[in-house]
Structure 1
């Protein structure tokens, strides 16, 4: 048995009504598969030397067809799917091989590697089905999740699905535009409809549905923009409000550094537009982004402007709101966890500490002119923490300015690359060695630079990902300094 991770499967729901499906095997396992197939309306053919009692009864009642004997490839004639449900591995393999030759999808029960499709664990509520799969690698986990979902979704969800299915054409006629339909659905489902169905008041639910449809029929579609902070990359750091807004969006304009894992949490059919800028220039200008936000909102779209970190911390969120306000467009701001907070936390660095740092300075060091404009004398004072954004290209100048204005060369630093993401790396050392260590370990953006005594905690309090990359000079400096030794 291979220890490789299960391959990612493509989920789909198959319409098997009236279609021939072959089940090879006549025992209890085969009977369970046949029962599910019959429930889906399939025309089931069972091939086996003998049938267990229930299958035999279904044969007698003409619910299934039976081919008696040992498997032969011609059994697959006209089949859409085949399930190998015998207790003999070689027979199951022969079934799968024959199906492969005919390009027919096959499943070998309890054999993930041999199967070409998997039957998921399911939660069923009328026409509503929730399917769960681990790719065949952890079926007990899928079953556990199914048990949890069984308790969360009561029968009212099935009744709701049936009601919406009956009135599908009316809904489409009332809200022909997809964005308006989605918003209408959101308001409809937040009303009393499901509560009435849960109480078995089906006539009252129908009346509530009709009233909701009439109410929304004349509602004008108005666009809006939500500035949403995506955090540093870990999707678990998104706020609940951010998740809700992402699932209501028609269009998502996202920065280059917004992680794929965060984007995957958005509504699947939302349009995604990358408007990221690049270090050193390139990409979309801020004026272009502002104009695009305005145009999309004026077209009636619900727009999410998704920014790495927090939109109001070096995210130009204020400029975008000014443009929206100037055009009378409604907006909201959903804060995100900014890089200084998240990267430091994932590196085990407390940004403030009563023995080492009583203040935090958040600084951008994007280019030469930005660096020259900073108050370096103030930044070089002790008992504070400096968090530099976008400073990878200017590490030599940062070190030179800080040491020239009196910050000791032995001050600890930590560079947190790809903070909170699986590929996170931390490079730690003393300020004198900052540029050399960054070059040695080939640090690349996005990376946050933390300077101050608290940066030494990266070596002792790390908890996420790999241990910090460092060299012996930091250990020597810590031993020579009581403040650093206490921190380390």
Structure 2
């Protein structure tokens, strides 16, 4: 290791910055963000001016002036960093990730600042934005944990659960008050030797391509004790789960034996009460025809903690993968997501409004109700020649797209459902559906 990484407390301490321009401004701003008293020097400097500083940054961008300032800093006995001149540096500036009190420094020893910057970007993408809230939680409860749990191993286990478990997830979701309440409950459970409460995460799995999982969804799949998943969640997404997680299919498919929604709600409540971290994994987005709202109601009624992680819903993923813009300046100024089941049962959609010109319809679960969908739209005034597209298994390697006209919709849908191994299908109705036929984007490059 060429350089030893150290973190200095600069609060109210003198830091000198020599130079003008963006590089000098950046160093001055960084020092101020750490609480330093920054002295800006814009011309030739003397050792006397630099004495008493804990560090000197030089960024004049002139070789002779940089060298002179370096000489004066050495004469004053102050460590110095000269921008872009490693030979004149007593210390170097790492690439920094700052998450509200959590700081990560990345250095290549000056060999490749570009590589350090690339690594910083990757680490920033991995770290939750509200990571600082975990620091505040740990600070708040550390003394209580130390007083309550005498065994060092037990303390470490509890503090690790605090920053990795249900409490942490509430804090990272922005519910710091809820996180504090749950932490107090977990401390009380330790005091009474009870099993602490778990947490449920209602998570969108996206349209099928595992690379379209959100970062938060991927993180939770690695943290879950149990994953209760829909039948439409493909194996490639489930493969991203922690190896020892319990994976339970609670899927509901038309015409097949399946879990009732009340049973799924009860299973979620049971597992969270037993202390598990549970991911309820739903195809697409949990709040768009995913019945996630009913599961949240059940958890809320039981007084249990929960979070919701949105996913890329089928309409967005399938349309993009098929090259269909759901809105388009010349063709569609509105888009509506509607379930095809409403064509025959339940509260029916307002078909007259949906049939308006310049309106795109994304119809979920509509293949088996294609005739009813066509008839309702035709009766509401939609032209039989209106373009339609059926996207089956959108974003997946087996994706299949059929295009045609509204009048032919039942025939197109029958071609998909008659395949025997048909995947989930989405129907898109409107002028924009014609773009599917014109798309020449290679399948593997359509969504990224």
TM-score above 0.5, yes or no: yes
Instruction: Identify the residue that residue 453 of structure 1 maps to in structure 2.
Output: 431
Map of 1:20-419 to 2, 5 A cutoff?
174=154, 183=161, 186=164, 221-280=196-255, 282-366=257-341, 369-370=344-345, 373-419=348-394
Over residues 420-474 of structure 1, what are the superposed CA-to-partner deviations in whole Å (9 max), with x where a residue is unaligned? 11100000111111111232353634100000000000011242439xxxxxxxx
Over residues 365-395 of structure 1, what are the superposed CA-to-partner deviations in whole Å (9 max), with x where a residue is unaligned? 1265337722111111110100000011110
Q: Alpha carbons of 1:401 and 1:462: their partners in 2 closer, same or farther (altered >3 Å)?
A: farther
SS in 2 for 1:294: helix
SS in 2 for 1:226: strand
Question: Normalising by structure 2, what TM-score?
Answer: 0.56
* Partner Cα separation in structure 2 for residue 371 and residue 464 of structure 1: 39
* Partner Cα separation in structure 1 for residue 235 and residue 321 of structure 2: 19
Runs of 4+ residues over 4 Å off in structure 1: 184-187, 216-220
Over residues 329-383 of structure 1, what are the superposed CA-to-partner deviations in whole Å (9 max), with x where a residue is unaligned? 0010000000011000000000000100000010001265337722111111110
Number of residue equivalences:
275
Specify every segment of 5 or more residues in structure 2 that has no aligned partner in the other structure, as ranges.
Answer: 1-117, 124-150, 169-186
Specify every segment of 5 or more residues in structure 1 that has no aligned partner in the other structure, as ranges.
Answer: 1-147, 154-170, 191-213, 467-488
Instruction: Identify the residue that residue 164 of structure 1 maps to in structure 2.
Output: none
Q: Alpha carbons of 1:400 and 1:464: their partners in 2 closer, same or farther (altered >3 Å)?
A: farther
SS in 2 for 1:328: coil
Question: Normalising by structure 1, what TM-score?
Answer: 0.52
Instruction: Verify the 8 A CA contact 2:368 2:413 in the aligned structure 1.
Output: no
Instruction: Identify the residue that residue 17 of structure 1 maps to in structure 2.
Output: none
Deviation at 1:396, TM superposition (A): 0.9
Map of 1:400-439 to 2, 5 A cutoff?
400-439=375-414
Instruction: Identify the residue that residue 443 of structure 2 maps to in structure 1.
Output: 465
* Partner Cα separation in structure 2 for residue 332 and residue 465 of structure 1: 34
